Chain A
Amino acid sequence: MHIPDGYLGPQTYTASFAAVAPFWYVASKKLNKTLRAKNVPMLALSAAFSFVIMMFNLPIPGGTTGHAVGAVLVAVLLGPWAACIAVSIALIVQAVVFGDGGITCIGANCLNMAVIMPFVGYGVYKLVAGRSSGKSPRRWIGAALGGYFGLNAAAVAAGFMFGLQPMIAHDAAGGALYAPYPLSVAVPVMAFEHLLLFGFVEAIVTGLVVAYLQKADISLLFGVKPDADVESAG
């Protein structure tokens, strides 16, 4: 889902930078209020985790590859604004140092994987988990569903960006200037491969880690107080 340089025309990548910039600004303001110095190592671990999990390319046999992103897991642990910052840093390093995702497409890729994904995923998680106690199964189930829907939302958004290109620009002969496939191809392909395979991988990773942390250290979940399950008893 890392859109490379050359796949998006200037209108699309410029608009994407313009769209993601306010999220980066608000995220830094929000974290300025909520992030404590002692949580910084966890933020760094989250960004590094997102970086590494994106290296686990999984095959659709005989076809293409894809991977999990980890953005919803980070959102469940540190909140969606922190996830926005952590995943953005991972994506920018991937583009600059490793050529994974284009330099011109940093805005677009961050919009898809560091904004749309954690916010959609966190929304689904909150919807399912509600005000349940920290140990409730609704937490890890909500996290898994959040991972599934978050990744798919990002994939559809990327497919939409690809598919817009033939509509926006073509050369004199009607040939493509940038990504060549129309919306009617790009969106369904991106949706199907993530709905059928990669979304489940994201769901399993997200659900398993959250279930583990519910047992190991509940205080690591965002917005969950360690003594939250006392509420139900009292």
Chain B
Amino acid sequence: MKTSKKLWIGLFVMVLLSPLGLILPAKFCAGSAWGEWSSEEIHKMIGYLPSGMSRLGEKWKSPMPDYSFKGQEKAPIRTLSFSYIVSALVGVGIVTGITILIGKAIARRE
């Protein structure tokens, strides 16, 4: 088998294992990444929500927030893990597609 094919298979194994990125932090009681807190978390930490933060933070509503489907904020980790894999697949699809288009556009003509 060609090495590049093995690497693609490796990527899909990573996609299937991706919920570890959700489960491990939950198991070890780790919160958000430093500097990536929600408005509620910030409020709890410093006692207020900085005004610029509330103004800019609301600007963009992503279609699949936090690699889940909308309205899944309180869903059990099993459901979230499934959404996480779907998000990884969607992300890989979009990123691969865009990169191929851009790559073809700028690659050297032969």
Determine the main DSSP class of B at the interface with A: helix
- Alpha-carbon gap, A216 to B57, bound state (A): 46
Interface status of A200 (Cβ within 8 A of chain B) = no
Whether B24 contacts A57 by the Cβ 8 Å rule is: yes
Whether B28 contacts A93 by the Cβ 8 Å rule is: no
Contacts of A67 in B (CB 8 A): 21, 33
Contact among B3, B27, B30, B87 for A60, CB-based, below 8 A: B30
Interface status of B36 (Cβ within 8 A of chain A) = yes
Give the size category of B's interface with A.
35 or more
Q: Contacts A9-B52, A65-B33 hold; do A41 and B100 have CB atoms under 8 A apart?
A: yes
Whether A52 contacts B35 by the Cβ 8 Å rule is: no
- Alpha-carbon gap, A31 to B53, bound state (A): 38
| Seed contacts A6-B57, A62-B29, A64-B32; 4 additional CB < 8 Å A-B pairs | A1-B35, A45-B4, A97-B90, A177-B53
A-B residue pairs in contact (CB < 8 Å), sample of 22: A4-B35, A5-B57, A5-B59, A5-B60, A6-B57, A32-B107, A35-B103, A36-B107, A47-B98, A48-B11, A49-B7, A55-B84, A57-B22, A58-B25, A64-B32, A67-B33, A99-B62, A99-B64, A159-B35, A171-B50, A178-B50, A190-B35
Segment with Cβ contacts to B, from A82-90, A113-121, A123-131, A142-150: A82-90
Interface status of B88 (Cβ within 8 A of chain A) = yes
Binding site for B on A (CB under 8 A): 1-7, 9, 28, 31-37, 39-49, 51-53, 55-67, 85-86, 89-90, 93-100, 102-104, 158-159, 162, 169, 171, 175-180, 186, 189-190, 193, 213, 216-217, 220
Contacts of A102 in B (CB 8 A): 56-57, 60
Binding site for A on B (CB under 8 A): 3-4, 6-8, 11, 14-15, 17-18, 20-22, 24-25, 27-36, 42, 46, 48, 50-57, 59-67, 84, 87-88, 90-92, 94-96, 98-100, 102-104, 106-108, 110
